[in-house]
Amino acid sequence: MSLELTPVEAVACCPPLAREPLSESEAEGIAPLLKALADPVRLRLMSMVASHEGGEACVCDLNDAFELSQPTISHHLKVLHEAGLLDREKRGVWVYYRARTGALQNLAALIGGQAQ
């Protein structure tokens, strides 16, 4: 067991931004999650996986949608995975990533939640 929370775990701990000021440690836990999303390529990857049927997509499909090298896509997927936004599963030669929609919803609640 780890005392270190993943960004996705950290985001579930806090009331909405507009309710009360975030503490320093809360902010430091949440920022990495936003950072993981704050890149055009990763936003598109996240959106492609989340909107794909079954909420999952094969890397082989994702690579072709970008004019970027395969290692670059692999790198971005790793960032999203380590932030806790994507789950990873290997099936045969292929790797499938699955969106953690609960994480997205927790993040949305933090950002857009009403003050009261």
Partner DNA sequence: CAAAGACATAGACACACGTAAATATTTACA
Partner DNA sequence: TGTAAATATTTACGTGTGTCTATGTCTTTG
Residues 69 and 77: their CA atoms lie apart, in Å, by: 13
Q: What whole-number distance in Å separates Cα of residue 3 and Cα of residue 116?
A: 31
Asked if 42 contacts 88 with a C-beta cutoff of 8 angstroms, the reply is no
Give the shortest CB-23-to-DNA separation in angstroms. Answer: 15
Q: Please identify which residue in 17, 48, 58, 109 interacts with DNA, judged by CB under 7 A.
A: 58
Q: Count the Cβ atoms, other than its own, within 10 Å of residue 5.
A: 13
Q: Which of 5, 13, 18, 60 binds DNA (CB under 7 A)?
A: 60
Q: Is 68 in the site for DNA (CB under 7 A)?
A: yes
List residues near DNA by CB under 7 A: 35, 38-39, 41, 58-60, 63, 67-79, 88, 90, 92-95
